[in-house]
Structure 1
Amino acid sequence: MIEGIIWAVIAGITLGLYALPEKFTKNFDFENTWGMMFFINMFIVPAVTGFLLINGFSDILKAIPGNVLSKMIISGVLWGVGVMMWGKAINHIGVSLGFSIFIGTVILIGSLLPFLVDALPASNKFIAILIGIAVVLVGVIANGKAGMKRQKDEGQDPSGKGSMGAGISIAIVGGLLATAFSFANAVGRPVIHEQSLAAGNPEWVTAVGVMFIIYVSGGIFVVPYFIINLSTKKLWPKFATSAFGTNLALTSVMAVLNFAASAFFAFAAFKLGAAGNTVGYAIFNTLSVAVAILSGLITKEWSHASRKAKTLLYLGLACMIIGVVVIAVGNSFK
């Protein structure tokens, strides 16, 4: 149990830091930065780690039953659409708020999705989890209000292009779709774990195999989406910038951190056992929000925000943390 919590914490810190390098890219539009990041993240990193780290990787993939694989692929595509929208939300409203709204939505829905696979828990446990999720929802609402207040403080028009309202809406819809990640992990992990151990792999390797399917499936939608947008907006020449090498390094760091965070979580969920896809998921995502908010404050995203806006932001984060504690305690009930 303790080992699982530690890995969930590590995963949360890693995910909270993954988008930070995006702030330092130069001469790239949104489509250039995130298109390159997602290509590396969803195709190159999963393939390299899968074939380098997993013994008999091809045979393990072939042994996955068709019904399980199809569920994972469909869920992976939905997750891919969600994380693409997450990138757009971050571009609209910044790292701290983009993480808060997106991840808050993910926690609300994603903590419940595994019950569709594993069945409902005892009533007292389920009620406690629902109460915790409701507290998280209060946090999400507070963060949304913080963002709207910050935009007003900065003198921006909430109805204009790239508005806070649009960014928050994108983050919420993206979060709803991205919860398919939790379902894909819950469905696919048992089969892949069994096949992986049979091939002589250590336990932690299973997480890499699960992430390979989810990420490549997500890339089926995300990468073509960015290719089309780069072509439509005539942004391919921007890759010829003198800052390309630096931008490639930064997006590669983003890609590795994002994939590693997901793999760390998958291993944490395994170590936490029955609590993995609920408690572990909530710990993982909430901590990522805390780290993202801290990085957003450090990089002065909120330097022009009023005290009220910052208070709402802190209140939202506090509610999310309290909600996760309630979920964790409720999950310990017999």
Structure 2
Amino acid sequence: MIEGIILAIGAGLMLGLYALPEKFTKDFKFENTWGLFFMLTMFLVPIVASVFLIKDFSGVFASVPTDILFKMAAASVLWGVGVMMWGKAINHIGLSLGFSLFIGTVILVGSILPFVVEGLPEGNVFFTILGGIFVVLLGVLFNGQAGFTRELDEIAAGKGKKEKGSMVTGISIAVVGGLLATGFSYANAVGRPFIHEACQAAGNAEWVTAVGVMFPIFISGGIVMAAYFAYQLSTKKAWGDFKTPAFGKNFMLILIMAIFHYAASALFAFAAFKLGEIGNTVGYAIFNTACVATAIVSGIITKEWIDASNKAKNYLYLSLACMIIGIVIIAVGNGIS
């Protein structure tokens, strides 16, 4: 159990930090950076990793039932749509509220979905884990309130501006996007047992299953993301911005981002396996919570909150405390099982 928890936290740390190299790219618009990122992380990295790391790659997937692969693909497409909707929600209601609603929905629904696929555990285990998830969600809400308070402080000081857009529309998009993004959790829960069996039959190590699970998830979800950013690059007339002397450096930085993003997801899948029967729920909750907590801590370290009011900082610290306590409670629930 301890190994699985450490792996899930490690995966969350990687996901919380993967975007840092983006700060050092030059001459790229938003669409160039993230369009290239999604092409690399959703296609190049998983294809290379799967082909080179999975023994009998074609045989493994040929032995997985077609309906299982279809369910994984469909859920992964929904995940891709959900991630894109999150970006749209931010345009309406701002980063803090949009992020909190999105990730709160992801943690709540995505942690419960595996129970739908695999069945409910014993009552004391179920309610302990639910209690931990509730504490984590309190942390997410406090995080949102911290960001919202900071934004109000910046507006009052003349350093920020009010977000334009419909609040109701933005909230709706964030919540629906969060619901769709939980397709990642469903795809992992429904596909991992079959892919694990196929990988083991081909003589692969246990951890290789995580690589196998990520392959259909990333390829299917990537179709949506690639289409979206191709449209954005055309609309913003940003294709020409790839022609820059800084392209080589930018490519390497974005490739590092892509590898970290993919590795974080694969590590989560392996952590879920190591956590046992209810590992998909426990691992998903810890994974996403550790990601948010890492983002909070990195924001503090990089002095993003240095000019925030004490009220905003107190909400932030309370958020971090709730998330840590929530992870501990969830871990206890997994231990009881």
What is the TM-score with the length of structure 1 in the denominator? 0.90
Question: Shift of the alpha carbon at 1:170?
Answer: 5.9
Q: Which amino acid aligns with 2:163?
A: S
Residue 221 in 1 paired to residue 224 in 2?
Answer: yes
The answer for the alignment partner of 1:29 in structure 2 is: 29
The answer for the alignment partner of 2:134 in structure 1 is: 134
The answer for the alignment partner of 2:153 in structure 1 is: 153
Structure 1 portions without partners, runs of 5+: none
C-alpha distance in structure 1 between counterparts of 2:235 and 2:289, whole Å:
37
SS across alignment from 1:273: coil
Question: Shift of the alpha carbon at 1:90?
Answer: 8.3
Give % identity.
64
The answer for the alignment partner of 2:54 in structure 1 is: 54
C-alpha distance in structure 1 between counterparts of 2:176 and 2:298, whole Å:
24
Question: Shift of the alpha carbon at 1:118?
Answer: 0.8
C-alpha distance in structure 2 between counterparts of 1:112 and 1:83, whole Å:
19
Q: How does 1:1-334 map to 2 (within 5 A)?
A: 1-85=1-85, 102-155=102-155, 156-160=160-164, 172-333=175-336
Please say if residues 80 and 218 of structure 1, whose CA atoms lie closer than 8 Å, have aligned partners that are also in contact. yes
Distance change >3 Å, CA 58–CA 275, structure 1 → 2: same
Please say if residues 104 and 320 of structure 1, whose CA atoms lie closer than 8 Å, have aligned partners that are also in contact. no
Question: Shift of the alpha carbon at 1:119?
Answer: 0.8
C-alpha distance in structure 1 between counterparts of 2:250 and 2:125, whole Å:
47
Q: Which amino acid aligns with 1:160?
A: K
Question: Shift of the alpha carbon at 1:160?
Answer: 2.7
Please say if residues 41 and 255 of structure 1, whose CA atoms lie closer than 8 Å, have aligned partners that are also in contact. yes
Cα deviation 1:70-125 (Å, max 9, x = unaligned)? 1100111111223344566789967x987665444322111111001111122222
Please say if residues 121 and 278 of structure 2, whose CA atoms lie closer than 8 Å, have aligned partners that are also in contact. no
Please say if residues 72 and 213 of structure 1, whose CA atoms lie closer than 8 Å, have aligned partners that are also in contact. yes
C-alpha distance in structure 2 between counterparts of 1:246 and 1:89, whole Å:
31
Q: Which amino acid aligns with 1:157?
A: K
Distance change >3 Å, CA 84–CA 226, structure 1 → 2: same
Please say if residues 97 and 148 of structure 2, whose CA atoms lie closer than 8 Å, have aligned partners that are also in contact. no
Q: Which amino acid aligns with 2:83?
A: V
Question: Shift of the alpha carbon at 1:270?
Answer: 0.8
Please say if residues 133 and 285 of structure 2, whose CA atoms lie closer than 8 Å, have aligned partners that are also in contact. no
Question: Shift of the alpha carbon at 1:190?
Answer: 0.7
C-alpha distance in structure 2 between counterparts of 1:185 and 1:69, whole Å:
11
| Aligned alpha-carbon RMSD (Å) | 2.6
C-alpha distance in structure 1 between counterparts of 2:223 and 2:278, whole Å:
31
C-alpha distance in structure 1 between counterparts of 2:97 and 2:319, whole Å:
10
What is the TM-score with the length of structure 2 in the denominator? 0.90
